[in-house]
Amino acid sequence: MRPAEETAVPVAGTGEEAGAARDPGRRGRPAVLATGLVVGMAVLALVAMASVALGARGVSFGTVIDAFLAPDGSNDHTVIRELRVPRTLLGIGVGATLGLAGALMQSLTRNPLADPGLLGVNEGAALGVTLALGLFGLSDPAVYVWFAFGGAALTSVAVYALASSGRSGSSPVRLTLAGVAFGMVCTAIASAILRMDAQTFDRMRFWLTGSLAGQTADTLVRLAPFMAAGLVLGLMLARPLNTLALGDDAGKALGVGVNRTRILTGVAVTLLCGAATAAAGPLWFVGLIVPHAVRAVVGPDQRWVLPYSALAAPVLLLAADVAGRLIARPGEVQVGIVWAVIGAPIFIMLARRRRVAAL
């Protein structure tokens, strides 16, 4: 008779190994999913090229290539190199971070309809920007992004400290309630500041809508290390999050540090969502819709949900940004507005469904 610990080993994984043993047809599924990632990268490259070429003034792909290989200082080449390329790279970074942050948040709270803003990260970042503009008069985006990031980080720390207080420690429900409470407090303080200062309100209107425009390459360079650190840390949490999906008691029995995993997940979400919100403002629904749709396709295994979410989100975000530029030429509709128009009805549809994609 086999020892009990040997029979428990497959359960500690994602369930895919056990499923493959029962169904030999599933043994080829990892290869299919890996191929899907390659296809997704190709689609992302095409969307990125469209983002560089299309806008208030369209340019040919030949001109785009010449702008990289043989720049001549013309107006088209200047727009491509100094405006559209940084904007496209920012869209890729913001999309990847928000998509992964959403997947981590939904896994951490065990709520398939959770959003990265659930921990108050977006509200904390918005409060930081409001303080930078209203109290300190800082109007340079490369400067006030640090206030946004600091506000997001401090809010996350406060939320976890409140949720983990007491004998019972932190739990998904306590984290959610603490995040909502702190988010409301941050929103109230920011609203009070904006009502007292009309000039700050005028400056904040553009940032609060959520936009990839107006940021320079310097902003992306400053935030890139935080985005990269959050992406690496988040992807490394796939296996422990899979185990915690079995429950806290089962996770402890299988050797996973429950509190450590939650802390690291919270750190990753702070890095990801804080940097993205600091760079582009609060973009709603990206972190909610994308992971949910990904789980419906690849299943609940976080080893696939996390990378697919980080890849699919920038594709959709850049596509929405390009659409916003094309439908209002020669002006543009901010990507935050486009996503709100798309995301709100989808969220209502998901909330009304009797069954959602399992975690």
pLDDT in tens, 81-97: 999 999 999 999 999 99
- Reply yes or no on whether the pLDDT at 4 is more than 70: no
What's the chain's Rg over C-alpha atoms?
A: 21
Cα 64 to Cα 66: distance, rounded to the nearest angstrom: 5
Cβ neighbours of residue 298 under 8 Å, at least 6 residues apart? 33, 36, 304, 305, 308
More confident call, 331 vs 240: 240
Of the listed ranges 1-15, 134-148, 225-239, the least confidently predicted one is: 1-15
Query: What percentage of the chain reaches a pLDDT higher than 90?
Result: 32
What average pLDDT score do residues 94-116 get? 87
Residue 240 — very low, low, confident or very high, per pLDDT cuts 50/70/90?
very high
- Would residue 18 count as lying in a domain? no
What pLDDT is recorded for position 356? 55
Going by C-alpha positions, the residue among 16, 14, 40 that lies closest to residue 28 is: 16
Q: Which one, of 178, 138, 143, 144, lies nearest residue 158 by Cα?
A: 178
Residue 335 pLDDT more than 90? Answer: yes
The reported pLDDT for the residue numbered 355 is 58
Q: What residue has token string 């920007």? A: 129
8 lies in a domain? no
CB 121 within 8 A of CB 106: no
Residue 168 included in any domain: yes
Q: Which residue has the higher pLDDT, 55 or 22?
A: 55
Predicted pLDDT at 359: 62
* Alpha-carbon 299 to chain mean position: 19
> Is residue 8 pLDDT above 50, yes or no?
no
Would you place residue 290 in the very low, low, confident or very high pLDDT band (cuts 50, 70, 90)? very high
Lowest mean pLDDT among 173-177, 264-268, 282-286, 341-345: 173-177
Nearest to 212 by CA among 297, 320, 73, 117: 320
pLDDT tens, 180-216?
888 899 999 998 988 888 877 877 777 788 889 877 7
Residue 196, domain member (yes or no): yes
pTM of the prediction?
Answer: 0.86
For residue 144, the enclosing domain spans 39-49+58-352
Residue 235 lies in a domain: yes
- Residue 52 CB coordination number (10 Å): 25
Q: Are 266 and 160 contacting, i.e. CB atoms less than 8 angstroms apart?
A: yes
The pLDDT tens digits of the residues spanning 306-315 come to: 999 999 999 9
Q: What pLDDT does residue 312 have?
A: 96
Q: What is the pLDDT of residue 242?
A: 93
d(CA 185, CA 220): 29
Whether 112 has a pLDDT exceeding 80, the answer reads no
> Does any domain span residue 4?
no
What pLDDT score does 358 carry? 55
CATH number at residue 342: 1.10.3470.10
- Number of domains within the chain: 1
The per-residue pLDDT for 27 is: 54
Is residue 17 included in any domain, yes or no?
A: no
The alpha helices in 13-166, defined as continuous H runs, are 16-22, 29-53, 61-69, 75-79, 85-109, 121-134, 141-164
Determine, yes or no, domain membership for 13.
no
Mean pLDDT of the chain: 83
